Structure 1
Amino acid sequence: MTSPAPAPPAAAAAQSPPPRIGLAGLATMGQNLALNIAEKGFPATIDALSPYLDAGDAIVDGGNEWYQNTERRIEQAASRGILYLGMGVSGGEEGARNGPSLMPGGDFQAYSNIKDILEKAAAQTEDGPCVTFVGPGGAGNFVKMVHNGIEYGDMQLIAEAYDVLHRVGGLSNSEIADVFAEWNKGELESFLVEITADIFTVADPLEGSTSGALVDKILDKTGMKGTGKWTVQQAAELAVAAPTIAASLDGRYLSGLKDERVAAASVLEEEGMPVGLLEKINVDKKVLVDRVRQALYSSKVCSYAQGMNLLRAKSVEQGWNLNLAELSRIWKGGCIIRARFLDRIKKAYDRNPELANLIVDREFAREMVQRQGAWRWVVARAVEAGISTPGMSASLSYFDTYRCNRLPANLIQAQRDLFGAHTYERIDRPGSFHTEWTKLAREGK
């Protein structure tokens, strides 16, 4: 996208407003975003664009781009007097057409030039348009990357909830549709929960309405575009724990091994491992539904907490000064991870911009404590039944590790010091220490 474009002759200008923005490289979302902007009164007039940009023009990259590429292009554009924005766009095909969440970062002047366009094109909520200037450099692209990482976690957790409801509770597709529709009226209200309810109501269009739900005919092999992998890589480089997001990525990798999984099931069955449930769990459906709801909610809080901590760590590293409350606000509408509880996440960071973790915000802490019994029950029953719940399990382990004031890491430090002389710290005196562990152990014997 570019702005401003060359002004048309005076006669033409009298008939229509001069084009201020043009879009190129249009895939599904790009086409709909172009229509969205045009409907708001800003022509997207590709023919009016000159083949060369003049000083002061702005380029806006609205794709999922690696943030360092954006920073390199900002420098290249600046050398020619051109402004540059790397803008994350979330909302899918419908969001792009009717109002996405926009995450522009880069040159603030470039944002200012088209701020009015973006604010009208973005999704609208009671807190305003779902767009804000995220920060300098590649901040916009990085925020969109983490958004997608949270999205990976959200989708994995919802799939696990479905699996437990179906395999442990024996709920039909119709019952599961009703459950998700009901959940969407409460604390779990979100775009992904809403569309999940719809998915379970769709019959196979190729076989007719009596042939069953379409979702049952879909191959259990998940695709991906790479942003989830980038998120996990960045978490590792910044030493930020993101186990829920990592588990969701691993889940996609394992889903891709369809032939190997089928073969493994056959081999293990021959050795006595049943293909179905390892243990039958007898539980009332209503009780199961309520406990899975609580487990899903608690796990989602952990996933969002991990994403927010990653954003904060990168902001500190790069000096971006990201406003986590404001990012929560622009995710409330238009984007894939939009959810009711984002408003509460915003309020948590409004109360304390330096909040170490969503888990220790008093409101979220109270809810996690109230729901942890049901959460543990669901994970334990899934393990007993042989149902894989990597996302929920990772979230629960994250919660238990984060709340633990004494971890077994003391033993790991002792091991590292024994085989590598890496030293360790003591709890009773300052400084670093090294011990000849093997020598002392032999002397003790």
Structure 2
Amino acid sequence: MQQARIGLIGLGTMGAALALNIADNGFPIAVWNRTTEVTRRFADAAGDLATRIVPTESLQDLVAAIARPRAIILMVPAGQAVDDQLQALAPLLEADDLVIDAGNADFHDTNRRDAADLPFRFLGMGVSGGEEGARHGPAIMGGGRAEDWDRVAPVMTAIAARADDGTLCAARMGDAGAGHFVKMVHNGIEYADMQMIAEVYGLMRDGLALESQAISDIFARWNEGTLSSYLIEISAKVTAARDPLTGQPMPDVILDRAGQKGTGRWTAIEAQHLAAPIPVIEAAVMARNVSARLEERRAGQDRFGAAPGPVALDADALERALIAGKILCYAQGFTMIARASEGFGWTLDLPGIARVWRAGCIIRSAMLNDMADALAQDPGRNLVLAPFFADLIEASLPALRQVVSQGIAAGHALPALASGLTWFDMMRTARGTANLIQAQRDFFGAHGFDRLDGADRHHGPWGQSA
């Protein structure tokens, strides 16, 4: 049996694609799947790459097939399955062997595993890009000890995506769960980006009564400009596609219920712990949850009225609104990462993260080049205040305001776009209305407040007359 450079456990869609990518880049890889037949089928279908793939039928065989010190990638479902696999590997591995969890793990679990007394070394690693990215070049976000990342970096950088300027989209983010945290926020932004695109799609379909092909043409045109991105590109493709069974536009035969694997929800929950407002992502998570409540939504339409009405908007206004919404969403995501960097002591490299996201991952877009530059100039500045993006928001904001106001007036649900606009209006208001909330808190709970004039009295007079 030839000695493999690295091993991989779990030959599902992502695991199989990642294994082929590793083999394709010249690294012999040993693979194992809980179902032996899956391993055999994978090896049989590997074609010319089969000479670099070592199929194994047991964990013992897998471990024996890998050159010391061993490195094994786990591509198994997040949660208990990872803990079970680590436990199964424990008696088979040596102290210098390295296990890499490359699934969509909760970063808290990665922190726990990193701190546990495992009899081998451990690395958490976020991998983004779906099946295509895993096969041809994903974005990779490592988390763990620097020496462990350095050991596998030759493999990870070889298989990772490259941006247009040749920069690798793979890097160590920081210690322990840092890589999985950054991947989690990536997925939260992904939820929000998809939701905003879907809201604009709904305005074109229901508010402007455009056919699916016309919508596709608009998305394709947008993909040539500021909004150039993977998600806009595939939106053009899916709206142009036809159902082979009925001949109808493909989106028209798909049930209006969006699935999710939990990473967006984790992002929203963690943002609350960090006191990092991310309303666009939270709105996107809420929208997916509402989409699943089909019977209630149908009952709501029966009781309160039919579909939303027409709007007097054009494609240019929708494009500018989406540009503004995208900037606001990403600004919130990067601010959350900055808060986590402070809170967890990770020293996360914000411009470096933006560069990793420029290719290979689902949220890759041309705009990330300018975001990386803006964050490099001043990592502590909110992205909306960076001159390039401030100018872009000023130019796009009237359209976002028009789209949200007209859409809501006509009965269109625009949770993500509206949340972004509301957040921006709060962020540009030096004196808001929280003074009344603080007065109320002092009235019923004597919580006190800070005064504008700096005087010493920090309670109101209401307690004297109660």
What TM-score does the superposition give when structure 2 sets the normalisation length?
Answer: 0.85
Deviating above 3 A after TM superposition, structure 1's stretches of 4 or more consecutive aligned residues are 280-283
Q: Give the one of 217, 221, 240 matched to 1:201.
A: 240
Deviations, residues 228-282 of structure 1 (Å, cap 9, x unaligned)? 111001110111111000000110111111100100111123xxxxx1335x434
Q: CA deviation at 1:430?
A: 5.0
2:141/2:179 contact within 8 Å kept: yes
In structure 2, the residue matched to 1:68 is 108
Q: CA deviation at 1:127?
A: 4.0
1:127-166 alignment runs, 5 A limit: 127-166=166-205
| 1:389 paired to 2:414 | yes
Task: Point out the more displaced range, 41-50 or 89-98.
Answer: 41-50
In structure 1, the residue matched to 2:21 is 36
Give the Cα separation in 1 of the matches to 2:457 and 2:428.
26
Q: Give the one of 335, 346, 368 matched to 1:320.
A: 346
Deviations, residues 283-329 of structure 1 (Å, cap 9, x unaligned)? 5xxxx100000100100111111111111111101110000000000
Deviations, residues 189-216 of structure 1 (Å, cap 9, x unaligned)? 0000000000011111222x3xx11111
In structure 1, the residue matched to 2:222 is 183
Task: Point out the more displaced range, 431-440 or 35-44.
Answer: 431-440
Q: Percent identity?
A: 40
CA RMSD of aligned residues (A): 1.5
In structure 2, the residue matched to 1:230 is 266
Residues 370, 49 of structure 1: alpha-carbon distance in 2 compared, 3 angstrom cutoff:
same
What TM-score does the superposition give when structure 1 sets the normalisation length?
Answer: 0.89
Give the Cα separation in 2 of the matches to 1:128 and 1:432.
57
Secondary structure of the structure 2 residue equivalent to 1:400: helix
| 1:92 paired to 2:130 | yes
Q: Give the one of 372, 379, 383 matched to 1:353.
A: 379
In structure 2, the residue matched to 1:4 is none
2:311/2:407 contact within 8 Å kept: no
2:21/2:159 contact within 8 Å kept: yes
1:90/1:335 contact within 8 Å kept: yes
Secondary structure of the structure 1 residue equivalent to 2:26: coil
2:321/2:403 contact within 8 Å kept: yes
Task: Point out the more displaced range, 145-154 or 118-127.
Answer: 118-127
Which consecutive unaligned segments of at least 5 residues does structure 2 have? 32-55, 57-61, 65-88
| 1:412 paired to 2:437 | yes
In structure 2, the residue matched to 1:329 is 355
Deviations, residues 409-440 of structure 1 (Å, cap 9, x unaligned)? 11111111111111111001155611232655
Give the Cα separation in 2 of the matches to 1:432 and 1:108.
52
In structure 2, the residue matched to 1:5 is none
Give the Cα separation in 1 of the matches to 2:311 and 2:143.
50
Secondary structure of the structure 2 residue equivalent to 1:129: coil
Which consecutive unaligned segments of at least 5 residues does structure 1 have? 1-7, 13-17, 270-274
1:200/1:213 contact within 8 Å kept: yes
Instruction: Give the number of aligned pairs.
Output: 410
Q: CA deviation at 1:341?
A: 0.3
Secondary structure of the structure 2 residue equivalent to 1:23: strand
Give the Cα separation in 2 of the matches to 1:127 and 1:420.
58
Q: Give the one of 403, 406, 413 matched to 2:428.
A: 403
Q: CA deviation at 1:68?
A: 1.9
Secondary structure of the structure 2 residue equivalent to 1:195: helix
